[in-house]
Amino acid sequence: MDDKFMLMIPGPTPVPESVLLAQAKHLIGHRSGEFSEIMAEVTAGLKWLHQTKNDVLMLTASGTGAMEAGIINVLSVGDRVLVGSNGKFGDRWVKVCKAFGLNVDVIEAEWGKPLNPDDFKAKLEADTDKTIKAVLVTHSETSTGVLNDLKTIADHAHAHGEALVLVDAVTSLGACSVPVDGWGLDVVASGSQKGYMIPPGLGFVAMSDRAWQAYETSNIPKFYFDLGPYRKSGAKNTTPFTPPVSLFFALQVALKMMQDEGLDNIFSRHAKLQTATRAAMKGLNLPLFAADEVASPAVTAVMPQGVEAEKIRSIMRKQYDIALAGGQDHLKGQIFRVGHLGFVGNRDILTAVASLEATLAQ
C-alpha cells in the first residue's frame, strides 16, 4: 500500500493529513488544563455538528458501544421497544436490545428498501396503553445504502405517546442533516471513523433531557458505559476514565475543518458525491441496490449483473489501489459498496469511476 491508496469504504473513512499529524503530538495528561481546553472546544463542536443543545458524550468505543450505551442508560429490563430493521445495522439494534432483556417488536423492511413510517404509526397508534418505551431507528443503513425517513418516524413517535427516539446516526451524521433538537431525537449514537474524518476509537452519544429523565429509572446494570459519570465529568471538561487523548487531538482538528467548511457545504458536498456516484454507475450499466429517492449520502450499493462483485473489488484493490466494501450477511458476494463519506471529494469519485470502468472492460 502506498500513499495513493484510496479507501472508498463507508468506514473507516480517509483521514486528512492534518488530522493524522495531530495525533503524532506528544501526549498530555487527561487531568490537565490543556486537555480540558480541548475537551471544551470539541464538546462545543460536537453540539454544533448534532445541531443540539443536548449533552453529547464521548466514549472510548466504536459505534456499537455508543448504541449499547444509549440503550442501557434509558431503558429497563422487560421494556417494550419498537425497532426498525432493514439491514445489518437495524439487526444490530435488535441484537443489542435482546442482549439486555428488552421486549423487542421488530418492524422490518426488505434489505435495499426503506422502513415504512406508516408501520411505526400503526404500531404506536395501536399501543393505547403506552407500553412502547422507545423507537429505535438506523438513519443511514450502511449495509444497503438506504437512508430511512427518520424525521417522519420520529414525528409519529412524538405524536403517539412518550416513546423515546433512539437513533443510529453512525453514517448519517456529517453526511446529511441530523437536527437532533429540531427532530426531537432523544439518543443519537455515532462513531469517529465515519463522517468525523478521524480514526476509529471514539463513540458519541447525544442525550436529550427526556433521555436523562429516563436514565433516573433505568435498571439495566452498567458501569463503564454508565453515562451519569460522563455527564458529571463533562460539565468540568474532563472524563471519568482515561480517554484516547490522541483521538481528541484528531477530533479537535477535524471538527475545526468541518466548521470551516460549514454544515450546509458539507451536506451539499455529500449530496453531489452521491449524485455523481449514482449517475456514473447508471452510465456503466451497473444496477443500483437502493432507489434514488431513498439513497444514502454516505454509501452507494451496487448489484452487478453478469460480473462477480468480489472480482470487481479484487481488481480495484490490486490494480488500482482502491478499496471498495463488499456485501454483508446474505449480500456477501452479491453487491459492492462505494463509500463517499467524510474526507472525500470530486477527484476521488472520478478516479474510482474511471478505475471501475477500466475494471469492467477487462
Q: How many other C-beta atoms can be found within 10 angstroms of the C-beta atom of residue 118?
A: 11
Binding mask 189-228 for ligand PLP (x = CB under 6 A): --x-------------------------------------
Instruction: Determine if 297 is a binding residue for ligand PLP (CB under 6 A).
Output: no
Look at residue 162 and give its three-state secondary structure.
coil
Instruction: Determine if 259 is a binding residue for ligand PLP (CB under 6 A).
Output: no
Span interacting with ligand PLP, options 47-55, 62-70, 215-223, 225-233, rule CB under 6 A: 62-70
Non-local (6+) Cβ contacts of 219 within 8 A are 76, 77
Instruction: Pick the binder of ligand PLP from 43, 142, 144, 359 (CB under 6 A).
Output: 142
CB closer to ligand PLP out of 87 and 304: 87
Instruction: Pick the binder of ligand PLP from 14, 45, 63, 174 (CB under 6 A).
Output: 63
Non-local (6+) Cβ contacts of 56 within 8 A are 43, 46, 47, 50, 204, 205, 206, 207
Instruction: Pick the binder of ligand PLP from 36, 60, 62, 275 (CB under 6 A).
Output: 62
Non-local (6+) Cβ contacts of 118 within 8 A are none
31 has binding-site annotation: no
Span interacting with ligand PLP, options 138-146, 156-164, 271-279, 289-297, rule CB under 6 A: 138-146
> In sequence order, what are the beta bridge partners of 323?
7
Site residues for ligand PLP, 173-192, by CB under 6 A, read 191
Instruction: Determine if 116 is a binding residue for ligand PLP (CB under 6 A).
Output: no
CA separation for the pair 358, 45 (Å, rounded): 41
Single-letter amino acid, residue 150: L
In the block, cell 495513493 appears at 4
DSSP class per residue in 20-33: HHHTTSPP--TTSH
Instruction: Pick the binder of ligand PLP from 171, 277, 296, 328 (CB under 6 A).
Output: 171
Span interacting with ligand PLP, options 44-52, 164-172, 176-184, 263-271, rule CB under 6 A: 164-172
Instruction: Pick the binder of ligand PLP from 11, 45, 117, 201 (CB under 6 A).
Output: 11
Q: Where are the alpha helices (DSSP H) in the chain?
A: 17-22, 33-50, 63-74, 88-99, 117-126, 150-159, 209-217, 227-234, 245-261, 263-283, 309-320, 346-360
Binding site for ligand PLP (CB under 6 A): 11, 62-64, 89, 92, 138, 140, 142, 168, 170-171, 191
Q: Show binding-site residues for substrate.
A: 337
